Amino acid sequence: MKSLRNFRFISRLDIKDEYLIKSINFEGLKKVGLAKDYALDYYNNNIDELFYIDGVSTLFNKKFIKSFLRMTCEKIRIPVTVGGGIKTINQAKKILKSGADKIAINTAAVKNPEIIKKLSELIGSQSVVSYIEAKKNNVNQTWDVYVNNGKENTGINIMNWIEVVQKKGAGELLITSVDNEGTEKGFDYELYEKIANIVEIPVIANGGCGKICDVIKISENVKVDGVAISSALHYNKIKIDDLKNSFKKKPFNIRY
């Protein structure tokens, strides 16, 4: 008998200081509320994982607020991934000691792919997430890798980059569509379809989720291992219980 594929529901929380913030296409950041309150609410309502991203730390060379991470992780018993401005192995170690389970790397990996290899050797590939911001290149009809919170085009083709991070030891991909981020118009299904053809590790889709039907559509039509949702959860357009209940008769292994 064929085993069911696992499917995860992740809350993405973009943070600045102690605040949860949100944008559209990574522009026009707005405060939503205290990040710890939202994190605890999602945990209490049975979200599978949390993904903290401190995007502005890369742009403005800020340090991730480790006291905030410790405070929230003490009350949370689900996997927590942290990304944003992590440039060194020592920074990653400190974040893990503060309570995180996984480290997400984007800009630093583009500058030096060996950091993924070193991290995977040190903490295990299952704890290393390659966080990729992808934007459609309408000239050649593919996607380029962006860094610095969707601000800077590296010129790297995403398919080539995925092959690199897989070889270096990343255990998971969390891929954000810059074009769809914050729009709530649905996922970039074409992007994830192409990625599914070359990927060998779990893929989490992020960017554009506005309704439960968006999650159902991508789960049924594209081989991804989960979704990361932000504004639709933050603004109460999707309730976690409703989302999970909609999957009860689907051919997936869901944590209830």
Of the ranges 25-29, 56-60, 246-250, the best mean pLDDT one:
246-250
Question: How many contiguous H segments (helices) and E segments (strands) does the chain have?
Answer: 11, 14
Q: What confidence score (pLDDT) does residue 61 get?
A: 47
Asked whether residue 63 carries a pLDDT value surpassing 80, the answer given is no
Active site residue 14: yes
- Among the residue ranges 12-16, 22-26, 88-92, 151-155, the one predicted with the least confidence is 22-26
Q: What is the C-alpha to C-alpha distance for residues 15 and 19, in angstroms, rounded to an integer?
A: 6
Active site residue 133: yes
Q: What confidence score (pLDDT) does residue 59 get?
A: 46
Q: What confidence score (pLDDT) does residue 235 get?
A: 93
Token pair 């689907």: residue: 250
Per-residue pLDDT, averaged over 58-77, amounts to 67
Mean pLDDT, the chain, as a whole number?
A: 90
Question: Catalytic: which of 133, 172, 181, 214?
Answer: 133
Asked whether residue 229 carries a pLDDT value surpassing 80, the answer given is yes
Higher pLDDT, 2 or 87: 87
Question: Catalytic: which of 14, 144, 172, 188?
Answer: 14
Domain ranges of the chain: 5-247
The helix (H) or strand (E) run that includes residue 40 is: helix 35-44
What tens digit of pLDDT does each residue of 170-222 get? Answer: 999 999 999 999 899 999 999 999 999 999 999 999 999 999 999 999 999 99
For residue 144, what are the contacts with CB-CB under 8 A and spacing of at least 6? Answer: 134, 135, 137, 153, 154, 155, 156, 157, 158
Q: Which CATH superfamily is domain 5-247 in?
A: Aldolase class I (3.20.20.70)
